[in-house]
Amino acid sequence: MSATENIEREKQRAAEAAAELVQNGMTVGLGTGSTAAYLLPPLAARKLDIRCVATSPATSQAARELGIEVVSFVGLEAPAHLDMTIDGADEVDPAGWLVKGGGGAHTREKAVAAASDRFIVIVSANKMVEKLTPPIPLELAEFGLAGTLARLGPVRLRDVTHSPDGGVIADYTGSFDDPRALADWLSAVPGVVEHGLFPPEMVAEVLVGRGDGVERIPVTG
């Protein structure tokens, strides 16, 4: 088996284990990306009585095609509280800090994770790192973009369409040692809609696919 095949198998194992955590009656947040995509078939196969909130149009469409009920997360009628959200990550450090947003969906992903009792992260073993590294995904307001870029410094704009909420997707490429300090600073820069650093307080558990098995790492934040 090639290294790429092994990574895909680990993503799938972690996603299958996470699907088993979902229970009847839950409202469940569905992440975005290739690992989160592996969650949908085993979740649909369980035929549970659940309703889901999707973090991207792609996830919404894929879930609906499998018969999973997806409800809107827009406006006052949207669920204010979710029981569980399951999503992938680009990097996970030993404290449980995450880098997310490789797919540019981090604004919606963070809003859904923040509304959830339990945020379950599913990753292949190569995503576990000793120290988070740039780039850190950003969503920026189009309005005043030149000024926002000047305030941020080292940023690369992605050559992709805007987010579903109209934001410009970019990456902060500066080096950093302290994820909390960078997260606080990015959150305070006018024009930054959201960044891809997720703190350990947001994370309940990381499920890591390792070979044929899955390691469950509780995060106490």
Based on the shown chain and the rule CB under 6 A, indicate whether residue 33 belongs to the binding site for ligand 5RP. Answer: yes
Based on the shown chain and the rule CB under 6 A, indicate whether residue 88 belongs to the binding site for ligand 5RP. Answer: yes
Q: Considering the complex, what minimum distance in angstroms separates the CB of residue 19 from ligand 5RP?
A: 15
Q: For ligand 5RP, which stretch binds (CB under 6 A), given 30-38, 76-84, 110-118, 186-194?
A: 30-38
Q: For ligand 5RP, which stretch binds (CB under 6 A), given 22-30, 95-103, 149-157, 207-215?
A: 95-103
Based on the shown chain and the rule CB under 6 A, indicate whether residue 139 belongs to the binding site for ligand 5RP. Answer: no
Q: For ligand 5RP, which stretch binds (CB under 6 A), given 42-50, 102-110, 160-168, 207-215?
A: 102-110
Q: Which string of DSSP letters, residue by residue, matches the chain?
A: --HHHHHHHHHHHHHHHHHTT--TT-EEEE--SHHHHHHHHHHHHTT-S-EEEESSHHHHHHHHHTT--B---SSTTS-S-EEEEEE--SEE-TT--EE--TTS-HHHHHHHHHTEEEEEEEEEGGGB-SS--S-EEEEE-STTHHHHHHHH-SEEE-SSPPPTTSPEEEEE----S-HHHHHHHHHHSTTEEEESEE-GGG-SEEEEEETTEEEEEE---
Q: CB nearer to ligand 5RP: give 50 or 105.
A: 105
- Which residues are near ligand 5RP by CB under 6 A? 31-36, 87-90, 100-106, 109
